[in-house]
């Protein structure tokens, strides 16, 4: 079985400046875009590629909310799983199965959070056999994820960035996953299009989140969440976010209508013409 422990410097070479997508060079503790004359820091091995000054208002509110939720996030998820009689774990397992990650694949997980999906991904394919790149807007969530990765002895690159502007070149990833954040983004369709842009030809993209009903009935009423999500329209339809140049589109509601899985593949034909 091939293993994919990509050396750290090669992992960093996957990164691009989110502003102009130019390559970045490692210089001491910083990533430098010579062409664009911009420089990004690395905080405890996590490149900080988020343009904080230009975050949309909704993204900024959500980032703040997850910043203070990060330490208790796993406990809340465990309680939610108990109340749902194991439904959340079943869904995480089902997503991991659908991804069908192969040894040697490079997986991008946008909005990885604290890494709660990692054990279920590992059940399908040992984490050491594929390359994981985990991205999130909230540093505090990434720090929790970093602890989990250390416990699992997994080789991964974590990046702080906005999923609406991915810091990677076109056609980088074999498999792409997003769970649980997109409904609350400023520009969800842009985030889906970005996933398609950085996908290799034929790569599977899976986006999972809760349905508008849950946003309305739980998030907009919850005491800890209602402030951050009060302006979200609950009339959204994830099918309208499907980008051009993709195929095999499938939308299915799961968890008795509380969640959805949206899957599609980067179109092979268009991508092969481009490359």
Question: Is the Cβ of residue 98 or residue 268 nearer to ligand SAM in the bound state?
Answer: 98
- Residue 177's contacts (CB-CB under 8 Å, 6 or more residues apart) are 95, 99, 107, 108, 109, 110, 117, 205, 206, 208
Question: Is the Cβ of residue 49 or residue 242 nearer to ligand SAM in the bound state?
Answer: 49
d(CA 231, CA 192): 21
Question: Is the Cβ of residue 178 or residue 271 nearer to ligand SAM in the bound state?
Answer: 178
DSSP 178-199: EES-GGGSS-HHHHHHHHHHHE
Question: Is the Cβ of residue 110 or residue 267 nearer to ligand SAM in the bound state?
Answer: 110
Question: Is the Cβ of residue 155 or residue 181 nearer to ligand SAM in the bound state?
Answer: 181
Question: Is the Cβ of residue 11 or residue 207 nearer to ligand SAM in the bound state?
Answer: 207
d(CA 190, CA 177): 15
Least distance from ligand SAM to the Cβ atom of residue 270, Å: 25
Least distance from ligand SAM to the Cβ atom of residue 178, Å: 7
Least distance from ligand SAM to the Cβ atom of residue 78, Å: 11
Positions that interact with ligand SAM (CB under 6 A): 59, 62, 66, 110-113, 116-117, 136-138, 141, 162-164, 179-181, 185
Of 43, 57, 47, the closest CA to residue 157 belongs to: 47
Least distance from ligand SAM to the Cβ atom of residue 88, Å: 9
d(CA 27, CA 44): 15
d(CA 152, CA 163): 25
- Name the β-bridge partners of 27: 30
Least distance from ligand SAM to the Cβ atom of residue 238, Å: 15
Least distance from ligand SAM to the Cβ atom of residue 102, Å: 22
DSSP 225: T
């Amino acid at each position: 079985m091939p293993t994919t422990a990509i050396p750290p410097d090669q992992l960093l070479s996957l990164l691009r400046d989110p502003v102009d997508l130019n390559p970045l060079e490692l210089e001491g503790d910083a990533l430098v875009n010579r062409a664009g004359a911009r420089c990004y820091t690395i905080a405890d091995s996590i490149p900080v590629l988020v343009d904080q000054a230009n975050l949309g208002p909704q993204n900024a509110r959500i980032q703040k909310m997850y910043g203070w939720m990060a330490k208790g996030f796993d406990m809340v998820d465990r309680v939610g799983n108990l109340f749902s009689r194991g439904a959340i774990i079943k869904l995480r397992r089902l997503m991991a199965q659908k991804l069908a990650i192969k040894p040697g694949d490079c997986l991008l997980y946008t909005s990885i959070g604290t890494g709660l999906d990692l054990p279920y991904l590992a059940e399908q394919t040992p984490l050491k056999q594929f390359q994981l790149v985990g991205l999130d807007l909230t540093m505090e969530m990434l720090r929790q994820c970093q602890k989990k990765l250390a416990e699992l002895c997994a080789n991964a690159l974590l990046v702080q960035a906005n999923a609406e502007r991915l810091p990677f070149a076109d056609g980088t990833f074999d498999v792409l996953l997003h769970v649980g954040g997109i409904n609350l983004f400023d520009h969800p369709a842009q985030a889906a299009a970005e996933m398609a842009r950085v996908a290799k030809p034929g790569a599977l993209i899976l986006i999972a989140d809760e349905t508008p009903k849950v946003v309305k009935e739980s998030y907009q009423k919850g005491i800890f969440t209602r402030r951050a999500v009060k302006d979200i329209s609950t009339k959204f339809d994830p099918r309208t976010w499907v980008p051009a140049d993709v195929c095999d589109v499938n939308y299915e509601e799961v968890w008795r209508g509380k969640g959805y899985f949206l899957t599609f593949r980067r179109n092979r034909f268009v991508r092969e013409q481009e490359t």
